[in-house]
Amino acid sequence: MASRKGKILIVDDNAGIRQALKILLPMYFAEVETIPSPSTLVATLERFRPDVVLLDMNFNTSINTGNEGLYWAGEIKKMAPEVEVVLFTAYADIALAVEGMKRGAYDFIVKPWDNEKLVATLTAARDKARKAMGSLPEHSEGSMYWGTSKPMTAIRKTVEKIAPTDATVLITGENGTGKDVLAREIHARSLRSGKQMVAVDAGAITETLFESELFGHVKGAFTDAHTDHVGKFEQADGGTLFLDEIGNIPLHLQAKLLRVIQNRSVVRVGGSQAIPVNIRLICATNRNLEQLVREGRFREDLYYRINTVHIALPPLRERQEDIAPLAERFIAQFAEKYHRPVAGLDESARALLKGARWSGNIRELQNVIEKAVILSDPPVILSEAKNLTAKDLQIDPAGSLKSVNEAEEEDLVRDAVERSGGNISAAAKALGISRPTLYAKMKKYGL
């Protein structure tokens, strides 16, 4: 029996071809999805997350005839480099298909196709993609979402460069921006992906247990030490150690951590033998370490030791174009989990989500969507008017002027006016204030 694993997306404007492949390929792939044109390709990639895209070379679009496949293959590889693209071509387009392979396509298949060769090519592409994606599970709730925003595109390029190295990485960002998810992504793309990634909430460990948890202890080291204990550094040997919330470690314990990082060896509490550890270190914090260094609350030498590569994850409000695709990804996840018939968002819901402040970032968005899916009734599209309201879901409007200082207020007013295209009524509504109040604030800030 054929092995059914992985996911394939077919992009072809011929309904007969889509139907034929929809019958054939489920014998070899766990999930098969088809779309008739590239117009929804980006959204489908983010929602469906295929291993392989079988991409027709020509569509009835405004893009130069004959080059559509090349263009969209390039877009796929930019957006999701780990996805393998197989080009679907007529005999006359073989030269273009070869050019597509030079640009990163895995292979091409000529129409009319031979089923055996088609299946062999697509399953080989699938296996290559799954191997490249490392140890991340196929339906992992924590798999990395990159999106299309400029800051995340730049971060993705950085990760592709540094992941295969052993460079120490410091990830900073607000709560809920996905620092732990990015750490797992770096590990999954590294040469250590076959080994364990050990995650530690360093700020949550009590001072009395800090050394024991991280470095281990020997039997009899203290009252409750009934057996030897292997610490987190030793557990991560050969793999990656992720120290989350490193900015919360007390100053006097930072020196002990620095010593182990420098020496790449640990001495268990109560022991005397130095035990070598071979780890890749990734740290994360939502605090401003440079400010803590200036205040004398974080060791400068430790800061530079963990900061070989610094990645600052942007808050969700600075990557607004990613909000709706992220929401739809969570909709698919929770619709499956709770067996709810929810398929997506309408335009009103998209606007509502885009306009929220998301002080809790991606984690808050995920919670909001989970609640909306659980409470949703048919129709299968989430709507602001029906089942995704700011009041019901406790979303703080982007323009809310409650509990903000003057500098923040100016930014909110300016942003609301810009987003409304100068429509004072719309901006005032978004801010939750009257038109006269908005006029007064615009005058105050010289807008």
Map tokens 């390039």 to a residue.
74
Distances, alpha carbon 247 to alpha carbons 173, 216, 232, 293, in Å = 12, 22, 18, 10
For residue 245, the domain's CATH number is 3.40.50.300
Q: Whose CA is closest to 185, among 247, 125, 240?
A: 240
Give pLDDT, residue 387. 58
In terms of domains, do 184 and 205 share one? yes
Domain presence at residue 43: yes
Residue range 271-325, pLDDT digits in tens = 888 999 999 999 999 999 999 999 999 999 999 999 999 999 999 989 988 998 8
Burial class (CB in 10 A: 0-12, 13-18, 19+), 421: exposed
CA distance 67 to 365: 38
In terms of domains, do 365 and 425 share one? no
In terms of domains, do 324 and 277 share one? no
In terms of domains, do 12 and 59 share one? yes
In terms of domains, do 194 and 228 share one? yes
What does pTM read for this prediction?
A: 0.59
Count CA atoms closer than 13 A to 125's CA, side-chain side.
Answer: 31
Which tokens is 322 given? Answer: 């990613």
Domain presence at residue 144: no
Q: Whose CA is closest to 289, among 302, 272, 276?
A: 302
In terms of domains, do 112 and 192 share one? no
Q: What DSSP state is assigned to residue 445?
A: T
The SS3 call for residue 11 is: strand
Among 252, 277, 312, give the residue marking a domain's end.
312
For the chain, what is the domain count? 4
Give pLDDT, residue 1. 43
Give pLDDT, residue 352. 82
In terms of domains, do 325 and 306 share one? no
Domain presence at residue 69: yes
Give pLDDT, residue 399. 38
Domain presence at residue 399: no
417 alpha carbon, distance to own chain's centre? 30
Q: Whose CA is closest to 172, among 87, 33, 285, 47?
A: 285
CB 299 within 8 A of CB 289: no
Domain presence at residue 68: yes
In terms of domains, do 235 and 193 share one? yes
CA distance 447 to 443: 6
For residue 106, the domain's CATH number is 3.40.50.2300
CA distance 275 to 234: 8
Residue range 290-301, pLDDT digits in tens = 999 999 999 999
CA distance 53 to 40: 13
CA distance 187 to 238: 12
Stretches in the chain below the pLDDT threshold 70: 1-3, 60-66, 91-93, 132-143, 377-409, 411, 415, 419-421, 426, 429-434
In terms of domains, do 117 and 229 share one? no
Which tokens is 198 given? Answer: 């050990």
In terms of domains, do 63 and 92 share one? yes
Instruction: Give residues with Cβ within 8 angstroms of 418, minimum separation 6.
Output: none
Domain presence at residue 137: no
Which tokens is 375 given? Answer: 């409470």
For residue 69, the enclosing domain spans: 7-132
Give pLDDT, residue 420. 64
